[in-house]
C-alpha cells in the first residue's frame, strides 16, 4: 500500500475518534505502533456505537483478569460476525488481531468499521426520512378525509336544498306530467352521482388504512440489543503458615558422685590401716571439704535442672497450643478450599451460561440482520406503494374535482330548466286567467 493511502487511512481514523471519542486521545502514532490495550479499547468503542451497548463497561468486573478476558471474547464475537457479513468472509479477523495487532490489518479493520458505522447512520437517516414522509402522507390523507367530509356536508346541504326545490317542483308537476317526468330523471342522475361519490370515498378510506398498516409494520421492525455483564469475585491467595519446631537439648551434668564414692571407699581402707600418716588424714580432710563443696554445687545443679524442666514444660504447653492453632488454621484453610472449589464450579457454570448467551447473541444478531434486510425490502415496497397510492390519490382528486364540476353544471342546467318551466307555468296561468276573464265578460 502506498504511503498516501496509509496517510489517508490514518487521517480517517484519527479524525473519527477525535470527533466521536476525544477522551481516548487517539493519535497516528498509536495506530502505527498498536498495542493490545489501546486497540482493544478502540474496537470496544466502535462495538458500542454499532451494537449499542448502552454505555455499560466490562471493566467494572472485580476480577480485572477475568473482565479483560470476557471483554476480548465479547469484542471478537461481535466483530468476527460483523466482518463476515460486511466483508463476505474476506476480512480473516482472529484473536491475534486483538492480542498482537499488526499496523496494516489494524488500519484496515478500523477503517471498515468506521465506514460501516457511517453507512448505518446514513441508513438510519433514510429510515427517519421515510418515517417523516409517511407522517406527511398520513397528514395529507387526513386532510383529504376532512375535505371529503366537508364536501359531503356541502353535498348534504345541497341535497336538502334540492329537496326543497323538488317539493316545490312537485307542486308544479301536479299540473304538468311532462315536467314531473323530467324532474324524476334529473333526480335519478343526481342519485347516481351520489353513489359514485360514496364509492370513491370508501376506496380512499381503504387506501388510508393500508398506509397506516405500512407505518405500523415499519415501526415494529426496530429493535434493540441487549448486553450481558457479569461480575465474578476472584479467589483469595492461599495462606501458608510455616511453623518452626523448637527443639531444646538438655545437657546432663556429669556428676562427681562416682569419684566421691571411690574416695570414700579409699578413705575407709586408709582408716583401717593403723600406719595412716598425717598426710593421709590431711588429704582426707581436704577431700571432705571438696565433698561438701561438691554437694553445694550438686544442689545448685539440681535447682537449675528443675528450672530447665519447668521451662521445658512451658515450651511443651506452648507447642501444644501452637499445634491446636495450626489444626484450626488447617481446618479453616480446608473450608476456604472447599468454598473456592464451589466458587470455581459456580464460575464454570457462569462461563457455560456466558457461552450460551454468546450463542444467543450471535443468533439474535443474525436474526436482526435478516430482519433489517427484510425491513429494507419492506421499505422499498412501501415506497413503491406510497408512490402508487399518491398517484391514485391524485387521480381520485382529479376525478372528484371533475365530478363536482359536472354536478355543478348539471345543477345549473336543472335550475335553468326549472326557471324555464316556472316561466311557462306562469305564462300559462296568465293566459288561462285572461281567457277566463274574457269568457266571463262575454
Is 430 among the domain residues?
Answer: no
The domain in which residue 43 lies consists of 3-122
Read off the pLDDT of each residue in 92-109 and give the average, rounded to a whole number: 88
Model pLDDT, residue 192: 84
Lookup: cell for 73: 471474547
Model pLDDT, residue 235: 43
Q: Distance between CA atoms of 316 and 314, rounded to whole angstroms? A: 5
* Residue 233 pLDDT exceeds 50: no
Model pLDDT, residue 58: 47
Q: What is the CATH number for 25?
A: 1.10.418
- Which tops the pLDDT comparison, 288 or 206? 206
Read off the pLDDT of each residue in 304-323 and give the average, rounded to a whole number: 77
Read off the pLDDT of each residue in 229-250 and give the average, rounded to a whole number: 52
Is 348 among the domain residues?
Answer: yes
Residues 116 and 28 both lie in one domain: yes
Cβ atoms within 10 Å of 350's Cβ, excluding its own: 15
225 phi and psi angles, rounded to 5 deg: -100, 150
Is 436 among the domain residues?
Answer: no
Is 203 among the domain residues?
Answer: yes
Number of domains forming the structure of the chain: 3
pLDDT digits (tens, 9 = 90+) for 244-259: 665 676 676 567 667 7
pLDDT band at 228 (very low <50, low <70, confident <90, very high): very low
Is 80 among the domain residues?
Answer: yes
Of 87, 122, 157, which marks where a domain is finished? Answer: 122
* Contact (Cβ atoms closer than 8 angstroms) between residue 233 and residue 62: yes
In 3-state terms, what secondary structure has residue 202? Answer: helix
* Residue 194 pLDDT exceeds 90: no
* Residue 242 pLDDT exceeds 90: no
Q: How far apart are the first and last CA of the chain?
A: 127
The pTM of this model reads: 0.32
Model pLDDT, residue 328: 84
pLDDT digits (tens, 9 = 90+) for 329-375: 778 868 876 886 677 677 567 656 756 765 665 666 567 567 656 75
Residues 81 and 20 both lie in one domain: yes
Is 439 among the domain residues?
Answer: no
Of 338, 361, 384, which marks where a domain is finished? Answer: 361
Is 235 among the domain residues?
Answer: no
Q: Distance between CA atoms of 42 and 21, rounded to whole angstroms? A: 9
Model pLDDT, residue 123: 84
Amino acid at each position: 500500500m502506498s504511503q498516501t493511502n496509509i496517510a489517508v487511512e490514518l487521517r480517517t481514523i484519527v479524525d473519527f475518534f477525535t470527533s466521536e471519542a476525544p477522551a481516548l486521545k487517539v493519535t497516528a502514532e498509536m495506530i502505527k505502533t498498536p498495542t493490545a490495550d489501546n486497540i482493544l479499547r478502540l474496537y470496544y468503542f466502535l462495538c458500542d456505537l454499532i451494537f449499542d451497548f448502552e454505555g455499560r463497561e466490562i471493566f467494572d468486573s472485580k476480577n480485572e483478569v477475568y473482565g479483560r478476558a470476557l471483554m476480548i471474547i465479547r469484542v471478537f464475537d461481535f466483530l468476527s460476525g460483523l466482518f463476515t457479513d460486511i466483508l463476505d468472509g474476506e476480512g480473516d479477523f482472529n484473536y491475534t488481531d486483538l492480542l498482537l495487532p499488526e499496523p496494516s490489518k489494524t488500519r484496515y479493520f478500523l477503517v471498515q468499521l468506521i465506514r460501516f458505522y457511517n453507512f448505518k447512520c446514513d441508513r438510519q437517516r433514510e429510515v427517519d426520512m421515510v418515517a417523516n414522509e409517511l407522517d406527511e402522507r398520513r397528514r395529507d390523507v387526513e386532510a383529504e378525509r376532512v375535505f371529503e367530509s366537508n364536501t359531503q356536508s356541502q353535498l348534504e346541504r345541497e341535497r336538502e336544498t334540492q329537496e326543497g326545490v323538488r317539493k316545490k317542483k312537485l307542486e308544479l308537476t301536479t299540473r304538468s306530467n311532462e315536467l314531473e317526468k323530467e324532474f324524476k330523471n334529473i333526480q335519478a342522475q343526481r342519485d347516481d352521482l351520489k353513489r359514485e361519490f360514496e364509492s370513491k370515498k370508501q376506496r380512499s378510506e381503504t387506501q388510508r388504512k393500508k398506509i397506516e398498516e405500512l407505518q405500523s409494520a415499519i415501526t415494529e421492525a426496530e429493535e434493540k440489543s441487549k448486553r450481558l455483564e457479569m461480575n465474578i469475585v476472584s479467589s483469595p491467595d492461599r495462606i501458608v503458615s510455616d511453623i518452626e519446631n523448637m527443639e531444646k537439648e538438655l545437657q546432663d551434668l556429669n556428676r562427681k558422685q562416682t569419684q566421691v564414692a571411690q574416695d570414700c571407699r579409699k578413705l575407709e581402707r586408709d582408716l583401717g590401716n593403723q600406719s595412716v600418716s598425717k598426710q593421709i588424714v590431711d588429704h582426707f580432710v581436704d577431700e571432705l571439704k571438696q565433698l561438701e563443696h561438691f554437694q553445694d554445687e550438686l544442689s545448685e545443679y539440681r535447682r537449675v535442672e528443675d528450672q530447665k524442666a519447668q521451662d521445658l514444660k512451658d515450651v511443651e504447653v506452648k507447642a501444644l497450643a501452637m499445634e491446636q492453632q495450626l489444626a484450626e488454621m488447617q481446618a479453616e484453610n480446608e473450608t476456604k478450599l472447599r468454598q473456592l472449589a464451589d466458587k470455581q464450579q459456580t464460575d464454570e457454570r457462569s462461563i457455560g451460561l456466558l457461552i450460551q448467551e454468546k450463542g444467543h447473541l450471535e443468533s439474535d444478531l443474525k436474526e436482526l440482520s435478516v430482519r433489517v434486510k427484510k425491513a429494507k425490502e419492506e421499505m422499498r415496497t412501501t415506497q413503491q406503494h406510497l408512490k402508487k397510492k399518491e398517484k391514485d390519490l391524485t387521480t381520485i382528486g382529479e376525478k372528484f374535482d371533475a365530478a363536482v364540476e359536472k354536478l355543478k353544471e348539471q345543477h345549473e342546467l336543472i335550475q335553468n330548466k326549472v326557471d324555464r318551466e316556472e316561466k311557462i307555468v306562469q305564462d300559462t296561468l296568465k293566459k288561462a286567467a285572461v281567457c277566463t276573464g274574457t269568457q266571463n265578460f262575454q
